[in-house]
Amino acid sequence: MKHTGNTILVTGGGSGIGQALAHRWHDAGNHVIITGRREAVLQEAIAGRARMAAYVLDVTDDGAVDAFVQLVLAQHPRLNILVNNAGIYSPERVTMRRDLAAAGRMIATNLLGPIRMTNALIDHLGAQPDAALINVSSGLAFVPYPAAPTYSATKAAMHSYTAALRPLLAGSVEVIEIVPPQVQTELAPGQSLDPNSMPLAAFADEVMALLHAADTPAEVCVEGVRYFREAEANGQFGTALQMLAQYS
């Protein structure tokens, strides 16, 4: 992945991991476009930063995505990197019958959203030099959190989807997966203050160091997520799953 001089689109870039990475890319000399559902949050994220732009977008809305892509490509024709970061989280009690609305929203946002964005931009990306597609998954893609099975499943699906795209796009679009551990963001209430979560700034710094390596890895795994990423290969999947289950 080229490190500077890109035009990068980050979904869910108004807060959390998306904002932290967007700011790091901007600081490195890239033009950065962020999207999200809250105008005020987006404007705060780009305040005082030239070469940053913000657009309100709901990635679950087919019509909104199509209209946005037409607009953003007209205004930013050199867009060459898509970062599918937008995501939502809801805990679930699956041991009894429940309303599935939250599960449906997670699937629509975390899985269908990136598929929709990739589909809308793939022709354009394939024609750009130094093009890249970056999907943000989770350590829970590899060891699911029993208290959030649908969220974990969407991230496992994103890992599989990303891996499947990589050989198909080889030579035209570089495909990268960022695999975060639990990070101090407001993805879940109180998570930003959780001492067991990785500080957001430290996460963003480590991700940038890995992305800026001589050879960008296909999977960007900070040290704090490696236990979960490698649990199955190391014969520790059951232990890791039980560890997460105690917090359910």
**122-145 per-position pLDDT tens digit:** 999 999 999 999 999 999 999 999
- Residue-range definition of the domain harbouring residue 52: 7-245
| Cβ burial, residue 17 (10 Å; 0-12/13-18/19+) | buried
User: Considering the domain boundaries, does residue 85 fall inside one?
Assistant: yes
Residue 123's domain is classified under what CATH number?
3.40.50.720
Extract the tokens encoding 52.
Answer: 């940053």
**% pLDDT > 90, the chain:** 94
User: Considering the domain boundaries, does residue 130 fall inside one?
Assistant: yes
User: Considering the domain boundaries, does residue 216 fall inside one?
Assistant: yes
Residue 149 CA to residue 39 CA, distance in Å, equals 30
The residue-averaged pLDDT of 96-124 equals 97
Q: Is the pLDDT confidence value at 247 over 90? A: no
User: Considering the domain boundaries, does residue 1 fall inside one?
Assistant: no
The residue-averaged pLDDT of 31-52 equals 97
In tens, the pLDDT along 159-184 reads 999 999 999 999 999 999 999 999 99
Average pLDDT, the chain: 97
The residue-averaged pLDDT of 9-25 equals 98
Out of 151, 161, 227, 247, which one is annotated catalytic?
151
User: Considering the domain boundaries, does residue 196 fall inside one?
Assistant: yes
Residue 80 CA to residue 126 CA, distance in Å, equals 9
Q: Are 139 and 223 in contact (CB under 8 A)?
A: no
pLDDT band at 230 (very low <50, low <70, confident <90, very high): very high
pLDDT of residue 189: 82
pLDDT of residue 24: 98
Residue 147 CA to residue 78 CA, distance in Å, equals 42
Residue 76 CA to residue 213 CA, distance in Å, equals 27
**Domain tally, the chain:** 1
The residue-averaged pLDDT of 107-124 equals 98
Longest dimension (CA), the chain: 52
User: Considering the domain boundaries, does residue 2 fall inside one?
Assistant: no
**% pLDDT > 70, the chain:** 100
Q: Is the pLDDT confidence value at 33 over 90? A: yes
pLDDT of residue 137: 98
Catalytic annotation on 151?
A: yes
